[in-house]
Structure 1
Amino acid sequence: MKYNNEKKKGGGSKRGGKKGSNERDPFFEEEPKKRRKVSYDDDDIESIDSDAEENGFAGGDEDGRRVDVEVVEEDEFADETVGEKKKRLTEDMLNRLREAKRREREEAGDDDDDEDDDESIKKILMQKQQEESGRIRRVIASRVQEPLSTDGFSVIVKHRRSVVSVALSDDDSRGFSASKDGTVMHWDVSSGKTDKYIWPSDEILKSHGMKMREPRNKKHSRESLALAVSSDGRYLATGGVDRHVHIWDVRTREHVQAFPGHRNTVSCLCFRYGTSELYSGSFDRNVKVWNVEDKAFVTDNFGHQGEVLAIDVLRKERALTVGRDRTMLYHKVPETSRMVYRAPASSLESCCFISDNEYLSGSDNGTVALWGMLKKKPVFIVKNAHRDKTDGITTNGILENGDHEPVNNDCSASYWVNSVATCRGSDLAASGAGNGFVHLWAVETNAIRKLYELPLTGFVNSLAFAKSGKFLIAGVGQETRFGRWGSLKSAENGVAIHPLRLA
C-alpha cells in the first residue's frame, strides 16, 4: 500500500503540474541550448588547431583546445576604462617618438641626452595639437613646387553623368563621390578600386524615415547633389532632389537613416569636425543641424533670402553658407544668431573656411574673394580669376576692398567659380570653374596670391585637398553642379586626382 500511495502521489503531482512542469519551464528549456552553444564539433576543433599552428602560436585549455591570441589580447584590454585606454595609447605614441629620436641621434652621431629628446618631442606634440585645432596655420603653399610637364590630372573614377561632390576620409586613404545620376561611389585613392552604394527598396527607405511623395518621379528622385563624410569615417551623408538627407554606414555601405524636413532640394552638406553633427543646406533657404549618432533633428538656422548653395563647418558650432541672395552668412548655432556679409556684385556660388576668422568665396562672375570676420566686405578680391586668357582681359586683375563698380558678367557658365577648397589648417587653397584650369592660391595676410594653374577640362564642381597636402581631388563633369547652364562635351565625367610635390 505504501508503494501504491507513493505512486499516486507522484502521479498526482504530474497531473496537477502541467503549467509548471519541467518540460514547459523556460529554465529547463534553455539549459540544453546553452550546452549546445559551448559544445565543439570535431571539425571545428581541428580547424582551430590548424589555424593556430599555421600562424605560429597556440594556446590551450585543459581540454586541449586552441585559442586565438587576438581574443586573448582583446580580453586583456576589455576591462580598461576610457582614461586607461587614452593613457596606454599616449604612452605607445611617446615610446615611438622617443625611439625615432634615438635613431636620429645615432645616425647623426649626436651625444644629446634623453632630456633634449623629451623637449623636442614636447615641441612637436604642441605644434601638432595647435595645427589640428586651427590655432596656428600650417605653411604649405610656399612648399608646393611647380608642376612638371608630366604632372596633371588623371581620372581615377568614372561616372555616367557629372560629378557634383567629392570628399576624402580623414586619413586620405578613401574617397567618396556623387553624381547627377544618383550614383554614390566609395573608392580607394591609391588603387582606384570602387564600390557602389546600392539604394534600398522603397519599403526599407520608409522604415528608415523617408516620406514618399505622390506622384513620385522615379527617374530623378535619387539624383544626388551633395555629399559629406564624418571625420571618424563611420558615416556618409548624401542629399539631392528628393528633399531628404540620407545617412549611410561606410563600413557596410548600407542605408541607415533618411532625415525628412527640407521642403526643397538638399544642395549642400558638411559634418562638424570631430563630431557626428551634420549641417545641411537647401533650396528652401534653410540650414538644418542633425545628430547622426542619435538619428535626431537638432535645430534650424534661417537668414538667407535665396537658395543656399554651399556650406562649410570646422570644429566650432559655426557654419558658413552662401546663397543666391548675394550674401554669405556666418551662423552662430548655439546663440541662434548670424553675421551677414554682402557680395559686391554677383551671386556667390561656393565658400570655405580658411580659419575661424577668414573665409574664401567664389562667384558666378569669376571672382575669388578673401573675407575677414570683422569686415562686412571682402578684404581682397581677385577679379576674373577664371576668365579665359583669349578674351583680352587681365586674368589676375586685383581690386582692393571698397566701393567699386560691378563686374561685367559673361553669359558663359565656364567662368563661374563653382568650387573653392582649402587644405585644412593651412595657407593653401584652390578654386575651380569651367575654363579648363584649377587654380592654386597662397593665402597671405589680408591677400591671396596665385601659385599655379592645373589644366583640367570640364566643369570643376567640387574640390578636396588631402590633409597632408600631397594631392588634390576634383569632381568634374560636362555640366554645372546645378542645372544645365553650360555643356562641355569634351570633358569626362568622373573624379580626377593631381599630385602635389612639396619641398
Structure 2
Amino acid sequence: MSSFFTTSATQQKRKRDDTNFVSSSKRRNTGDRETAKPTKGKTARARRDESISSSGTDNVARHPRVTEEDVVSSSESEDEDETGAERRLRLAERYLQSLKNEVDEAGFDAEEIDRNLIAERLQEDVAETKGRVYRHISSTLSYSTAVQTLFRSRSLTITSIATCAPYAYTVSKDLQLTKWEIHSLAPPPARTSKKSSKPARRRPLRLTTKRGDKRKCNDPNYQQHVAPILCVAASTTGKYVATGGADKRLIIWSADTLTPLRVFTQHRDAVTSLSFRRGTNQLYSVSRDRTIKCWSLDELAYIETLFGHQDEVVDVASLALERCVSVGARDRTARLWKVVEETQLVFRGGGASEKRRSYGQQKGNFEISKNYSEGSIDRVAMVDEEMFVTGSDNGTLSLWALHKKKPIFSVALAHGLDHPMKPEEVSAEVVPDAKVPERLPRWITALATVPYSDLVLSGSWDGEIRAWKVSEDKRRLDAIGVMGKVGKEGGSAGTVIGEESGDQQTSVRGIINDISVFERGDRGKDGLCIVAALGTEPRLGRWKKVKGRNDAVVFEVRKLHDIPDVDVEKRETVQEAV
C-alpha cells in the first residue's frame, strides 16, 4: 500500500493554482505555466500535504519571505535579490571608496589613508550623530590677523544677522531686510608699486532689499513688516528666511528672491528671536508673550507652543536634534526643551560672581572686585547637544551642561567695565564735586558658536568680538583672542579680562547686536568667516546710545599655517599666546 512517504517525486509534484501563480509572476519569469485545475473531490488537507511534499523538490519555484529592510528601490539596488545585510555592506564599501577618492587627489598613499584619515573621518561622523564636541579648532586660528570689511547698509540700527554661505541676511529698525553676497577676501598683492601696497578687499555685494511700511499697519492683507524687525534666521537648506518683529509678525520669505510666502500672527507680542533646526526646515520662534512656538516650513504650518518661562523670552538656539534652549530674561532661567518627549529642563542663574583682576600676573598679585548680581539672562548659544553658553546683563559668560542645574563655569566681566561718566554728564548743573556713579559692567549683547567645536564668540558695546575656548575636559572657558587686535606684548588676547584697552583701538565702533559664523572650505580648512551686526542702539530698545556705526562687518579669520612667510615672527608670537 503506497503512502505519501513512499510515492515517487514525480507523483508528489502538484499542479499550481492559477490564483496562486499570478502574484509570483511579478517576481520572476517562468516558462509554460500549468493551468490544470486541482482534482475535484480532494480535501483541503490532501492538497496541503501535497504542497508540503512538493516544497522539497528542486523543480518548483520558491517564494521566500521579503522583509521591509530587504526591499530596496531599483536605483539603490544592484541585484534584485539583495538582502539588507548585503545592501549595508555595499553602501559601506561605497562610502569608504568615496573617502579614498576624496583624499587620493592630495597624493597620499592608501596605507596612510586607511590608518589615519578614514579612521578620523569616521570618528567625526559618529561624534556628530551623538551631538558632542568633536572638533578642536580654536587653537588653529589667527584672531589678531583677522581682516575686517564693512558693509554699506545705509540703514538704521542693524538688529540681527544670519548667514547661509555665501549669503548673509540683515534686518534693521527701519523695516529693511537685505540679502548680501559675501566674497572671500583676496590676499594682498605683491608690492610692485605704490598703488598695490594695500591689500585688496571686496565689500559684500547687496543683492536684494525689501522694506516694510508702517502706514500699512491696519491692512490685514499686507505681507511685510509694519514695525521694527528684531530678528532673522536662514535655514541651512538654503530655502527659507524667517524674520520676526515688534509688530508680532513672523514672516517666511523665499531665500532666493525674498518673496514673502506666509505671514504668521499667532504670537501675541513682539517676536524676539528665531532659530532653525540644523539640516531641516523646522523653525523655533520666541516672543515677549513668554512662549516658544514650533513651525514646519515644509508645509508652512504651525506645530505647537511651549510654555514655562515667567518673563519675556529673548533668545533661542538649536542644533540637529529636535530640541532647543531658550532664555527668559529676568526670570533668570535657561530652559532646554525636548520637543518629542514634551519635557523641559530648567537651569537657574541669578547668582553673583567674584572677579579676580590681575595687576601683575608674574608676581601673582590679585584683587577681589565688587560682586555684580545677575539680573537678566539675555543671550544663549549651543556648543553641542549637551552643552550651551549664556550671556547676562552683569557681563558674565556662563558654561552649562545638562547634568547640572547651575553653571559649571562662569567668566565675570567678560568684556570689562564701562568707561566712567564725566562729572558734567552726571547732572545738568555744573557741580565740580559731583559724585560720579560707579562703573557698570558691559552686557553680553551677542553670542555665537561653531557647532560641535570648542570655539565660542561673544560681543558687547566695547566694539570687540572676543573668542573663548572650551577646555578639553569641558569644564572651563579660556580667553584666547580678540578679532583683529594684538595685545601690548604681542599676544592675541589683547588685554586682561576686566581691564581697559589702554592705548589700543577697538576693532569696530558700535554695539554688537548679533554674530553669525560659517566656515570657509571643506570642514573649515580655509578658515572662518565671522559676520557681526552693529548699531548705535541695542536691538530690543533704546535705553543706551553709543558712538558708532549702523552697519555690519565681516571678519575673515585665517588658519595659523596660512599666514604668509613675511609674518613668521608674528605667527610664532600668536601661537605662543594661544
TM-score, structure 1 normalization: 0.70
1:428/1:442 contact within 8 Å kept: yes
Q: In structure 2, what is the Cα distance between the partners aligned to 1:154 and 1:177? A: 15
1:368/1:417 contact within 8 Å kept: yes
- 2:446 aligns with 419
- 1:400 aligns with none
SS in 1 for 2:210: coil
1:501 to 558, 561, 570: 558
- 1:198 aligns with 210
- 2:403 aligns with 374
2:99/2:118 contact within 8 Å kept: no
For the pair 1:334 / 2:340, whether they are aligned, the reply is yes
Q: In structure 2, what is the Cα distance between the partners aligned to 1:265 and 1:90? A: 52
2:179/2:208 contact within 8 Å kept: yes
For the pair 1:182 / 2:175, whether they are aligned, the reply is yes
- 1:481 aligns with 539
Quote the offset at 1:119 in angstroms.
Answer: 5.1
- 1:430 aligns with 457
1:5-84 matches, within 5 Å, as 81=75
Quote the offset at 1:101 in angstroms.
Answer: 2.1
SS in 1 for 2:101: helix
- 2:197 aligns with none
2:400/2:409 contact within 8 Å kept: yes
Structure 2 gaps of 5+ residues are 1-72, 79-87, 184-201, 352-373, 421-436, 484-506, 561-578
Quote the offset at 1:356 in angstroms.
Answer: 1.3
Quote the offset at 1:81 in angstroms.
Answer: 4.6
1:264-275 matches, within 5 Å, as 264-275=269-280
Q: Are residues 294 and 168 of structure 1, via their aligned partners in 2, closer, same or farther at CA, if it must alter by over 3 Å? A: same
Aligned residues: 387
1:342-353 matches, within 5 Å, as 342-343=348-349, 344=351, 345-353=374-382
Letter in 1 for 2:210: I
Q: Are residues 379 and 213 of structure 1, via their aligned partners in 2, closer, same or farther at CA, if it must alter by over 3 Å? A: farther
RMSD: 3.3
2:224/2:251 contact within 8 Å kept: no
1:241-260 matches, within 5 Å, as 241-260=246-265
Quote the offset at 1:195 in angstroms.
Answer: 2.1
1:147/1:501 contact within 8 Å kept: no
SS in 2 for 1:359: strand
Q: Are residues 218 and 292 of structure 1, via their aligned partners in 2, closer, same or farther at CA, if it must alter by over 3 Å? A: closer
Q: In structure 2, what is the Cα distance between the partners aligned to 1:249 and 1:156? A: 23
- 1:396 aligns with none
1:184/1:197 contact within 8 Å kept: yes
What does the per-residue CA deviation read over 1:302-344, in whole Å, with 9 as the maximum and x for residues that have no partner?
1111111100011111110012211111111122221111112
Q: Which structure features the higher share of helix residues?
A: 1
Quote the offset at 1:122 in angstroms.
Answer: 3.0
1:382-397 matches, within 5 Å, as 382-388=411-417
- 2:84 aligns with none
- 2:510 aligns with 458
What does the per-residue CA deviation read over 1:131-185, in whole Å, with 9 as the maximum and x for residues that have no partner?
544334211111122514xx4532124241111111111xx31111111111111
- Aligned identity (percent) is 29
Letter in 2 for 1:353: M
2:388/2:399 contact within 8 Å kept: yes
Q: In structure 2, what is the Cα distance between the partners aligned to 1:410 and 1:116? A: 61
- 2:240 aligns with 235
- 2:138 aligns with 141
Structure 1 gaps of 5+ residues are 1-78, 106-111, 206-211, 392-408
Q: Are residues 390 and 284 of structure 1, via their aligned partners in 2, closer, same or farther at CA, if it must alter by over 3 Å? A: closer
Q: Are residues 218 and 280 of structure 1, via their aligned partners in 2, closer, same or farther at CA, if it must alter by over 3 Å? A: closer
1:279-358 matches, within 5 Å, as 279-324=284-329, 325-343=331-349, 344=351, 345-358=374-387
Q: Are residues 369 and 95 of structure 1, via their aligned partners in 2, closer, same or farther at CA, if it must alter by over 3 Å? A: closer
From the CA coordinates, give the structure whose radius of gyration is larger. Answer: 2
2:133/2:384 contact within 8 Å kept: no
Q: Are residues 456 and 487 of structure 1, via their aligned partners in 2, closer, same or farther at CA, if it must alter by over 3 Å? A: same
Quote the offset at 1:200 in angstroms.
Answer: 8.0
Q: In structure 2, what is the Cα distance between the partners aligned to 1:219 and 1:273? A: 26
Quote the offset at 1:197 in angstroms.
Answer: 3.9
SS in 2 for 1:306: coil
1:159/1:179 contact within 8 Å kept: no
1:98/1:118 contact within 8 Å kept: no
For the pair 1:122 / 2:134, whether they are aligned, the reply is no
Q: In structure 2, what is the Cα distance between the partners aligned to 1:488 and 1:83? A: 63
Q: Are residues 116 and 216 of structure 1, via their aligned partners in 2, closer, same or farther at CA, if it must alter by over 3 Å? A: closer
Letter in 1 for 2:344: R
- 1:471 aligns with 529
Q: In structure 2, what is the Cα distance between the partners aligned to 1:256 and 1:215? A: 15
Q: In structure 2, what is the Cα distance between the partners aligned to 1:193 and 1:152? A: 17
2:447/2:458 contact within 8 Å kept: yes
Letter in 2 for 1:155: L
What does the per-residue CA deviation read over 1:195-252, in whole Å, with 9 as the maximum and x for residues that have no partner?
23435899xx9xxxxxx75899999824210111111110000000121211111122
Stretch moving more, 152-161 or 254-263: 152-161
Quote the offset at 1:270 in angstroms.
Answer: 0.4
Q: Are residues 182 and 94 of structure 1, via their aligned partners in 2, closer, same or farther at CA, if it must alter by over 3 Å? A: farther
